[in-house]
Chain A
Amino acid sequence: MEGMSYLAIAYFGMLVAIALWTYTVVQRSRRLSQRIEALEGAITGRFESE
């Protein structure tokens, strides 16, 4: 039973690790999209004001 407890902990640790990895990749993509939108907005605004 002790072995199974260690295994359950190892499995849980690995699942948390890939969940974190996935979260960082998805967040990176969303952050970049927001920055692009902000930059595009700034460039468009500048051209319109000129």
Chain B
Amino acid sequence: MKQRVSEGLLFLGFTGIASTLLLALLWAPSVSLEAFESPAAQRIFYWHVPAAWAAFIAFGALFIGSAGWLFKRSEVMWRLHTAGAEAGLATGLMTVWSGCVWGAAEWGTPWDWTDVRLNTFGLLTLLAVYLVLGRSSQPDGVETRDTFAAFGLYGFVLVPLTYVATRIWSIRHPGPVVGTGDEGSINGDMGLVLLLGALSFTVFIIGHIMNSMHVTSLEQRLERLQATMDKVI
């Protein structure tokens, strides 16, 4: 049942993402030619911002899962940790890659090592790389889980830091366009496409987290069965 729900959410989210991109390409209004070096590339924003939002949800799941494992020793929380790390890696890479495409078109360089937001988000994605690769290469055990959960717990500090980075240090990454308290710099139609993108990515990432948790529980069940089989033989 849970498997069906998660697959349904994945399908719904994916359809929404595809619709967002189609609307972003064909329907969303153009930005002024004076405001951007590359106005067409600005439309990558309809992918980049919702992907970053989904990454924050994934890293939130990683934080809750890590805390749940460390303080409650809960198997469900460990599954949430692994699902959050995998979803954080995927959405982190989507955000970084789309940002690099836009940076190359707008700034003439895909990355700026002096910009705080770029680098804190890059570190978050590297944290997810470490957790995903580490789990697949290390034997499962309490000590291993504790180490990864500690990284997931303390690494979360990069999420609020990334969020406030452009509010405190305006270096190269554009400032916030929503939640600024004033009217913001996006008009109604732009906001609508962005909202559809954010909702679709949210549904999609929840589906992925549920599916990954199910996969981890199947892996654990398989290990137990193999151990039983070994005893029988």
Residue of A nearest to B24 (CB): A11
Q: B residues 8-36 with Cβ under 8 Å of A?
A: 10, 14, 17-18, 21, 24-25
B208 is an interface residue with CB less than 8 A from chain A = yes
Please measure, in the bound complex, the distance between the C-alpha atom of A39 and the C-alpha atom of B94, giving whole angstroms: 37
User: With A10-B44, A22-B208, A26-B211 as given contacts, are A4 and B25 in contact (CB-CB < 8 Å)?
Assistant: yes
Q: Is the CB of A36 within 8 A of B225?
A: yes
Residue of A nearest to B97 (CB): A14
Please measure, in the bound complex, the distance between the C-alpha atom of A26 and the C-alpha atom of B98, giving whole angstroms: 25
Please measure, in the bound complex, the distance between the C-alpha atom of A7 and the C-alpha atom of B98, giving whole angstroms: 10
The answer, among A4, A8, A14, for a CB contact under 8 Å with B47, is A14
How many pairs, one residue from A and one from B, have CB atoms within 8 Å of each other in the complex? 77
Of B62-70, B120-128, B134-142, B215-223, the segment with at least 4 beta carbons within 8 Å of chain A is: B215-223
User: With A11-B47, A26-B10 as given contacts, are A35 and B25 in contact (CB-CB < 8 Å)?
Assistant: no
B226 is an interface residue with CB less than 8 A from chain A = yes
Report the interface size for chain A: residues with CB under 8 A from the other chain: 28
Q: Is the CB of B211 within 8 A of A40?
A: no
B173 is an interface residue with CB less than 8 A from chain A = no
Q: A residues 31-50 with Cβ under 8 Å of B?
A: 32-33, 35-36, 39-40, 42-43, 46-47
Q: Is the CB of B229 within 8 A of A43?
A: yes
The answer, among A14, A19, A46, for a CB contact under 8 Å with B98, is A14
B212 is an interface residue with CB less than 8 A from chain A = yes
Known: A8-B25, A14-B94, A29-B211. 14 other contacts (CB 8 A): A3-B41, A4-B40, A6-B105, A7-B25, A14-B47, A17-B94, A18-B94, A25-B211, A25-B212, A26-B10, A32-B215, A35-B222, A43-B225, A43-B232
- The residues of B with any CB-CB pair to A shorter than 8 Å are 3, 7, 10, 14, 17-18, 21, 24-25, 38-41, 43-44, 47, 90, 94, 97-98, 101, 105, 204, 208, 211-212, 214-215, 218-219, 221-222, 225-226, 228-229, 232
* Complex A-B: 18 CB contacts under 8 Å: A3-B38, A3-B39, A4-B40, A7-B40, A7-B41, A10-B98, A10-B101, A14-B47, A18-B17, A25-B212, A26-B7, A26-B211, A32-B215, A32-B218, A35-B222, A39-B229, A40-B225, A46-B232
